Each structure stands twice: as C-alpha cells, then as structure tokens.
Chain A
C-alpha cells in the first residue's frame, strides 16, 4: 500500500469489488481527502515522534493464514440470536458512520481516510439493550498486503460487553473501530497487541459514551516495527466514566505510539488514563494523553498517570500528559515520569539473595502491575520483557 502509488492500488481494488455504489462514492471521497491531506509529518502533533516513513520500509508479510477458509477476523464466541451482525460492506448507507474531525486534527487521523479507501473487511455488531455479551475477536493477516478493517459496535442501553481483541503476530493492519456505548451500558475492553518486530498496526478508535456509562479498558502493546494508535473518547451524557490502562514494552528498534484524547463535552464525567512503558535496546515509545474539558462541563474529573522506564541508553520515551480545561469546577491531576529501574530497590532485593536478573524482573513486573486493572494473573505471560 505504501510502496505503490495509492491511486493505482485503489483502481485495482475497486475493479474487483462488488459493492453498493454509495460505498464506492465514500471510497472515492476518502481517496480525495487522503490525497489532499497527505501523510502525517513530524509537524503533526500525534506523529511528532513517529517516523511515518517506517511504513515504506516494512518487510513483506511472511506469516499469512493458510487453508481454504480464512477471514480477516474471527469471533471466537457464540453470538446470541438477537445480536445483529453485518459484514461492513453490507451495512445500510444510512447506518454508515462518517468520522469527521476538526481541520487541525484531519492530518493526524488521515489513516482513517485510507482505511475507507482500502476497506476490505469488518463488521457492524449491535448488542441489544439489557443483554450481556462476552466476545473474543482475533484480527488476522490473510493477504500479503495491508488489511484495512472497520469495526462498529453498538452497545444497547443497560447492556454489558466484555470484549477481548487480539491481532496476528506479524500483521499489517489498519484498523478503525467505533464503539457507541448507550446509556447505562458497561464495557470491559481488553486488547492484546503482542506483535512481531516486523509488524505494523495502525489503529484509530472512536468511543462515544452516553449517560451513566462505565468503560474500563486495558491494552498490552508489545513491539511492532510500527504500532500507532489514536483513541478519541467523547462523553455525550453525564455521570459516565472511562478508565484506560496500557502496558507498552518495546525492544530492538520497535516503535509504539499511543495517543488518547478524552473529550468532556458534558459535565460530571470521569476519565482516567494510566500508562506504564518500558523501552530497551533502541526501542521507542511515544505517549500523548490529552483531556479536553469544554465550557460548562463542570464536575469533570480527570486523571492522567504516565510512568516510564528506560532500560538502555539508546531507548527513547516521549511522554506527554496534557489538560485543556475550559471551565471552573474540575478535579484534574496529571503526572509523567521517565527514569531507570531504581538502583536502591534492586540492591535491596539482591541483598536478600535474589539474583540480579530475577530482581530486575520483579521490579519490572511490579511497575507494570499498576496498569493491570483487570488483575489478570497471566498479564505478563505473553509479553517479551
């Protein structure tokens, strides 16, 4: 996708497709938008520390799912009868959600346009009111090119969703996910991005919160040549809460960028962002946590805690908490630290007979535990530390 001119790739793709004309129109409009905006540069705030040219340097995909039937995503759970599930290219034109951004944010989120242009898989899932659903979705690499996936989940009033998402180890995925959480719904979201050092994952998420919604989210990011995520969370109803925690661990020359923006459009909502990151070798982590509290959104409660550890001289971590408060009655706290493993703690553990490597592991494990908000006992099992 990034090695050939986009319009050539687009022509090839659209010729093969048998889909409604309105979707073709959407693709063409998105292509125009993409060509106007261009790829993000270092001047784009959310790409400031991410070299987008890494996308041109990606190695070819070698790990492609084999067999007669393989899909970009598989849902490893049985869906109840009344749950609505549609292939994304089969949705009604009226239910298609156009993601529009402020002009200044357009270029930051230009991969959303590219996702529409090249869309090849996805679904729209509607969870009825008052129901409970536990889902595990695996996103897979089934072609040698990029998989462009769009997922839309509507969580009905007072419904409960427990969603776990994971991605193929050596993937090239551009994923746009939209979650609409209606009033009184409860969401538990887990995402495992445990990727190969050659993988690339670009992920945009939009979460809309109605009234009295509670969302807890825990993400594990491990490696990838480039893993970049942007998450916009809009509070549209009062008394809602959104708590997100992420663990980011990078080795070699891997790069993880995580951006989350919570928009307190209405008052009396609570957002909490916890990030714990470790970088070693020449690994890089870039973090942005921004909370925007609009005029009149009184009673908002905002917390951001970004803690980072560098395990080598060449590793880099950029960590930026940001508050934009436009009203008076707000509780807000933010903090960011970057340091090394505490030598005194390491010495203390060793002085009791614990070997150095084991002592380091214990300190790293305890550091990352802050972000293990679901208290999963196996949360570090699959991460390369």
Chain B
C-alpha cells in the first residue's frame, strides 16, 4: 500500500435529504489500496455517505469538503466523479429496459476514456475484455445481451455491479450493502470478484450491516457510523465485536 499519498479526505461533511439532516460532521481519510468497512445501525447515514461521494442529486451537502486525489469532489457532476475514478455499486441496481448491457458498458467505458483524454476502445478489444471479466464473475453470457438489470435475479444484479466495476476499473469503489439479498455462494462470487480487483492503487469503502461479508473481503479498517458521524474505528476485530454485541451500546453513548 502507498502509505504516503491520500486518496480521499472527507472533512466535516454535513448532508441532508430534504429537511432530514443525515450526516452531521463526518470525517474520514482513505489511502490508496485500503479497504474501509462502514458499519452501523439502520438510518445511521451509511448509504448517504456513498451517495454523497458518488454525487447523487437527492442528497444535499450543506457543509464540509471532500478531496479526492487533489480535486474538490463536491464540485464535480456525477459523471465527472465516475470518470475521475469513483464507482458506486448500488444497493438497489436500477433496471433500464431497452438499454443493452454491452452497449451501456461500452458507452460508459468510452465516455470515461474520452473524459480522461484517452482514445475510445474498439469493439473487438472491448468484446475480449468483457469475455475475460464475465468469466471472473461467473455470469452467463446472455446477461450481456439483455437490457441492463432487467429480469435479473437479486444476485445477478449485484454480480452485474461488480462486473461493471471490473470493466471500468475505478480508483475508489463504494459497495453499498452489496451483500444484501445474496445467498452464501453468490456472496463468495461477489467477494472473489472484489478481491481480484484489490491492488495497491485501488481503494474500497464497503458499507454493510453484517460481519459475514468481511469474512471474505477483509478490511484494513472498520468504522461504526451512528447518527451521522463515525463514532468508533478499529480493525477487523471491531466487526466481530459488533456481530456479538450489536449496536445497543450506541444508544447509551448517544443518549449521554
């Protein structure tokens, strides 16, 4: 891991959805190659954190800053953030009838390359890339020819997210409860896909409720998010402790 450089620095972020204040002064730093797990009870703001970083319109940032590889992330449009290297694996991937998966992915990859001043990838090279990556995700070829996520099972949708990630090769991937709705075999496949993408330059934020996923994607850091802030950080053992103790202790702490 490159311990010197910072990839992401979140500084005192406050964010709301409508009038509902969700993030209340969140701070976090991530270096290249690190995997950070974000855990916490329902409504703590875990998904909102992912949405803030990816630039979802529904979330309004009212205070704070986010530095991503030297750029002001909050100043960028959603598609610019993606092209800079942010990837959000959706908790509920959207079905898009009529838009073929292959066409969509090639359009996405070429749009990102264009943004970065790189030449477009031609169809034969793209096809080779796709074939190689789809094997890795244990996905059926016919899913590529079908409309994006339409008629996919819950597990197929989640695998499709990781498959997209493998094609787009982001610098920072945010997995928003990618484990929800997955059986143990699908969970292993998704985790294998993620682990194959781990390297010293790529970082991950893994948002999850359960320690189970972290058995397969072993994090460098575990953070507990509660009431819009990170209230505790530790290593993987913190996730194991949470599995045993739950979040009841937070209630006491927050009420004090």
Interface set of A (CB-CB < 8 Å, partner B): 343-345, 347-356, 358-359, 362-363, 365-367, 369-370
Contacts and interface: CB of A to CB of B under 8 A. Distances in A.
B118 to A, nearest CB: 12
A351 B88 contact: yes
Interface stretch (B65-73, B77-85, B232-240): B77-85
12 contacts: A343-B57, A344-B94, A351-B55, A351-B79, A352-B79, A352-B82, A352-B105, A353-B168, A354-B108, A365-B98, A369-B98, A370-B98
Nearest to A355: B79
Contacts of B147: 366
Given A349-B99, A352-B82, A366-B98, 20 more contacts: A348-B90, A348-B94, A351-B54, A351-B56, A351-B78, A351-B82, A352-B79, A352-B105, A352-B111, A352-B164, A352-B168, A353-B109, A353-B112, A354-B104, A356-B77, A362-B104, A366-B97, A366-B147, A367-B98, A370-B98
A355 B57 contact: no
A362 B99 contact: yes
A363 B107 CA distance: 13
Interface in B107-144: 107-109, 111-112, 115
Q: Is the interface of A mostly helix, strand, loop or mixed?
A: helix
A366 B96 contact: yes
Nearest to B92: A344
B90 A353 contact: no
A350 B96 contact: no
Contacts of A366: 96-99, 147
Contact of B78 (A350, A362, A363, A365): A350
Contacts of B104: 349, 352, 354, 362
A341 to B, nearest CB: 11
Contact of B99 (A344, A350, A353, A363): A363
Contact of A345 (B55, B79, B96): B96
Contact of A353 (B57, B83, B98): B83
Contacts of A347: 56-57, 78, 94
B111 A353 contact: yes
Contacts of B82: 350-353
A351 B112 CA distance: 11
A320 to B, nearest CB: 24
Contacts of B77: 350, 356
Interface string B44-66: 00000000001111000000000
A366 B57 CA distance: 23
Contacts of A343: 57
Interface of B: 54-57, 77-79, 82-83, 87-88, 90, 93-94, 96-99, 103-105, 107-109, 111-112, 115, 147-148, 164, 168
A358 B99 contact: no
B49 to A, nearest CB: 15
A355 B111 contact: yes
A359 B82 CA distance: 14
Nearest to A370: B98
Nearest to B97: A366
Contacts of A351: 54-56, 78-79, 82, 88, 90
A369 to B, nearest CB: 5
Contacts of A359: 79
A274 to B, nearest CB: 13
B95 to A, nearest CB: 8
A369 B100 CA distance: 11
Contacts of A354: 79, 104, 107-108, 111
A355 B77 CA distance: 9
Closest 7 CB pairs of A and B: A366-B98, A353-B82, A352-B108, A353-B112, A348-B94, A350-B78, A350-B79
| Of listed A348, A352, A353, A367, residue having the most chain B CB within 10 A | A353
A369 B77 CA distance: 29
B168 A348 contact: no
Given A354-B79, A354-B107, A362-B107, A349 B168 contact: no
Nearest to B79: A350
B79 A363 contact: no
Contacts of B103: 362
Nearest to A362: B99
B98 A358 contact: no
Contacts of A352: 79, 82, 87, 104-105, 108, 111-112, 164, 168
B106 to A, nearest CB: 10
A167 to B, nearest CB: 28
A160 to B, nearest CB: 30
Nearest to B85: A353
Contacts of B168: 352-353
A377 to B, nearest CB: 13
Contact of B96 (A358, A363, A370): A363
Contacts of A369: 98
A300 to B, nearest CB: 28
A128 to B, nearest CB: 41
A343 B96 CA distance: 11
Contacts of B148: 348
A171 B108 CA distance: 41
A353 B115 contact: yes
A353 B77 CA distance: 10
A358 B97 contact: no
B99 to A, nearest CB: 5
